[in-house]
């Protein structure tokens, strides 16, 4: 009888230790993110095409000068200090993010809390991929038979707090590196919301990351979303037409073509800034996709090779809403071309450079 009591006592103590240790090591990561309206410039270098170093040609001006031009009203996710006190300014290593929302991070075992405020004129939400969430924190609107919960959308001027947990199945798999990428985006009207600009990266690490949940075994991280923003399908089409300098006809094929912005992180013809690294550094690239059936992209790095799940390559394929993680150790200094290898996408400006110092 005494031995049985000791065994039960031991079991209880072990369970308490497991509970305490999990409470100590699990972290709640809190973000304050708003959907804001901005005047987005797809080609700040205009009239110079940074890939050629010369002025844009007539064919290229279709996307950056004709019809509406290169400036569009869009929605973007932006990070704020606690209580939405002040807009957070991006640091040097975040410069390359472009139109992408702030990087949301978590480690396996963490809880992620996102306080969301909708500063736009349309309903919006945040829907995450990969992590664990209940129906109340899904951020998506559809007939799921649950009439007691909110429909996932936040009305203009409204706020909502999303809570997601990070189980093992959200983190790196057996063949993955120490961190992997997922997406988050607005899912009230997903095609219109994402074409309007509401999309960002969600990074999950496994064991022993840095304090901010970034991977400890890399020196730099870069994010690239390959996407044809279809401004014809944006929530702001009418608002952008009202800003048109000429007679913009939404039914005209030429007008529709001019609104297909083939970009990386919402920038075209080499306007991405901040893909800078040093020779020999461990560099992790997170490649994201979004869009429609034309959004089959093949990112290609000149002058370097990368590893993806143990496979050596310098070109990888990406499809809408997919995400891939690759590792590079650059070994040749210089300014190198970095672009989608689909011919039509090259011509339309889906290209940039990275610099190895």
Place of tokens 């009202």: 242
Token pair listed for 325: 């993680």
Cα–Cα dist 36/280, whole Å? 38
Q: Measure CA 164 to chain center.
A: 17
Cα–Cα dist 113/346, whole Å? 39
Q: Which residue of the set 283, 340, 342, 348 is catalytic?
A: 340
| Average pLDDT along the chain | 92
pLDDT tens, 195-253?
Answer: 999 999 999 999 889 999 999 999 999 999 999 999 999 999 999 999 887 778 999 99
Count the residues in the chain.
Answer: 357
* Domain at 28-356, CATH class: mainly beta
pLDDT tens, 245-296?
Answer: 777 899 999 999 999 999 999 999 999 999 999 999 999 999 999 999 999 9
Q: Structure pTM? A: 0.91
Known active-site residue 340: yes
Cα–Cα dist 191/189, whole Å? 6
Token pair listed for 42: 């797809």
User: DSSP assignment of 107-171, as one string?
Assistant: ETT-EEEEEEEE-SSS-B--EESSSB--GGGS-B-S--S-TTS--S-B-TT-EEEEEEE--GGGS
């Amino acid at each position: 009888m005494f031995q049985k009591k000791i065994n039960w006592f031991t079991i209880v103590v072990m369970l308490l230790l497991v509970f305490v240790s999990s409470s100590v090591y699990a972290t709640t990561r809190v973000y304050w993110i708003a959907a804001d309206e901005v005047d987005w410039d797809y080609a700040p270098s205009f009239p110079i095409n940074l890939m050629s170093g010369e002025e844009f040609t007539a064919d290229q001006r279709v996307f950056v000068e004709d019809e509406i031009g290169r400036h569009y009203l869009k929605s973007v996710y932006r990070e704020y200090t606690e209580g939405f006190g002040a807009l957070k300014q991006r640091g040097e290593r975040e410069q390359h993010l472009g139109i992408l929302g702030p990087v949301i991070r978590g480690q396996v075992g963490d809880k992620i809390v996102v306080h969301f405020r909708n500063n736009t004129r349309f309903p919006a939400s945040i829907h995450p991929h990969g992590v664990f969430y209940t129906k109340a924190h899904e951020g998506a609107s559809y007939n799921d038979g649950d009439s007691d919960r909110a429909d996932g959308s936040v009305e203009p001027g409204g706020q909502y707090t999303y809570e997601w947990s990070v189980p093992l199945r959200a983190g790196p798999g057996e063949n993955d590196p120490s961190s992997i990428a997922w997406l988050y985006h607005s899912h009230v009207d997903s095609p219109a919301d994402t074409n309007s600009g509401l999309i960002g990266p969600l990074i999950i690490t496994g064991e022993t990351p840095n304090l901010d949940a970034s991977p400890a075994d890399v020196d730099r991280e870069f994010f690239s979303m390959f996407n044809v923003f279809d401004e014809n399908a944006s929530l702001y089409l009418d608002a952008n037409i009202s800003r048109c300098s000429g007679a913009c006809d939404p039914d005209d094929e030429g007008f529709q073509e001019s609104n297909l912005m083939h970009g990386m992180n919402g920038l075209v013809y080499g306007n991405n800034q901040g893909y800078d690294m040093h020779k020999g550094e461990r560099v992790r690239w997170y490649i994201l996709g979004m869009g429609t059936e034309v959004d089959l992209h093949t990112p290609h790095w000149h002058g370097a090779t990368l590893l993806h799940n143990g496979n050596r390559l310098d070109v990888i394929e990406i499809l809408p809403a997919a995400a891939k993680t690759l590792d590079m150790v650059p070994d040749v200094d210089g300014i190198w071309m970095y672009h989608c290898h689909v011919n039509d996408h090259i011509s339309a400006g889906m290209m940039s450079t990275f610099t190895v110092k």
